[in-house]
Structure 1
């Protein structure tokens, strides 16, 4: 391995930053998590798992299900519980994936595209991995796509995962 020049700092994993995977608890997101874990293991870098809690004015359906049960619980608390459960289930189903057993976990609030890119920059990520449903047509035009926006704005490599990775 080449030596660092004086004053240079080098991220772990042979000059590569961590792999950042943004999750939303969907099956596509689970597939992205599994691929990111495999890549982190293979490259010997950290795995950072991120969930962005949407702006509270716009509560998505996957939070609403739990919000009914815990009406007084803050949205971030619900998202944190869901993230913990999502990761626990993935770890249980895939114990052989080492990076998945000990990821760095981040929960932030904001607009997903903006916050994903901010976290990637702050973490000095070497790769960003996202799941995508791959919507097309009118629904895509009206709703937009977080993955598509991230790909167009990112200043680092982005991998989009569309289906569940088989063991």
Structure 2
């Protein structure tokens, strides 16, 4: 009888949408990615990894480090390479995490808060997972926090990860 309830719960979870992890390549977003992968494994759902290519006016110079190596490279191409490398490194460090090994990568351009919420809705995500470094003070007052804005506007559960112990 207990097995039947466990199987029913797993089938219900599998019928739900994927878990969407929005990443910005920071250590906090790596922790969020790992947690999202663990949740996806536990619930038996897909893991989607999203990176939003920032508008140049929103985050000038964000991709400049990689851009110096290449001339006349589109921001989206650089961000795509960074996303591939970020997830590949996480897969390499954590080969036992099945959802992470099978993660689907998404790259979109725009304002992060808006695009994260749009992708979550379009993909029928069951949960959002984001990292946050917890900026405070004047910088937070002027710029706000993507994570904080997503939490206040989302119509689905959102988990914010500060950092997880290294495993």
Fold in common (TM above 0.5): yes
Deviation at 1:56, TM superposition (A): 3.2
Q: Deviations over 1:44-74 (max 9, x none)?
A: 0000000000113344444111111112110
Aligned length: 159
- Equivalent-residue separation in structure 1 for 2:60 and 2:94 (angstroms): 28
- The normalised TM-score by structure 1 is 0.89
- Equivalent-residue separation in structure 2 for 1:97 and 1:62 (angstroms): 29
- Equivalent-residue separation in structure 2 for 1:14 and 1:38 (angstroms): 14
Corresponding residue of 2:90: 90
The runs of at least 4 consecutive aligned structure 1 residues that moved more than 4 Å come to none
Gaps of 5+ in 1: 3-10
Higher helix share: 2
- Equivalent-residue separation in structure 2 for 1:153 and 1:143 (angstroms): 16
Alignment map for 1:106-121 (pairs within 5 Å): 106-121=106-121
Gaps of 5+ in 2: 6-10
Corresponding residue of 1:72: 72
| SS at 2:80 equivalent | helix
RMSD: 1.8
Alignment map for 1:1-167 (pairs within 5 Å): 13-167=13-167
- Do the aligned partners of 1:34 and 1:165 also contact (CA within 8 Å) in 2? no
